[in-house]
Amino acid sequence: MGAAAVADLIGLGAEVHVIDLKAPASEVASHQAIDLRDPQAVGEAVERIGAPVDALFNCAGLAGPPFTGLDVMLVNFAAARHLTGLVVPLMAAGSAVVSVSSAGAYGWEQSIGQVEGLVATPGYVEAREWCEEHPEVVGEGYLLSKQAVALWTMHAAIDLAPHGIRVNCTSPGPTDTPMMPSFESYMGKEFMDRFPKPLGRNSTPEEQAHVLVFLNSSAASYMTGSNVYVDGGFSAGMLTGRLDFSLLAGGAPVGA
| Active-site residue identified among 124, 142, 197, 229 | 142
Nearest Cα residue to 20 out of 60, 75, 76:
60
How is the chain split among helix, strand and coil, in percent rounded to 5?
50, 10, 40
CB 157 within 8 A of CB 168: yes
Determine whether 147 is exposed, middle or buried from the number of CB atoms within 10 Å of its CB (0-12, 13-18, 19+). buried
Report the alpha-carbon distance of residue 177 to residue 197 in Å, rounded: 16
Q: How many C-beta atoms surround the C-beta of residue 254 within 10 A?
A: 22
Q: Is 146 a catalytic residue?
A: yes
Task: Tell me phi and psi for residue 94, to 5 degrees.
Answer: 100, -10
Report the alpha-carbon distance of residue 172 to residue 1 in Å, rounded: 10
Q: Is 197 a catalytic residue?
A: no
| Active-site residue identified among 106, 124, 146, 229 | 146
CB 64 within 8 A of CB 140: yes
Residues taking part in catalysis: 142, 146
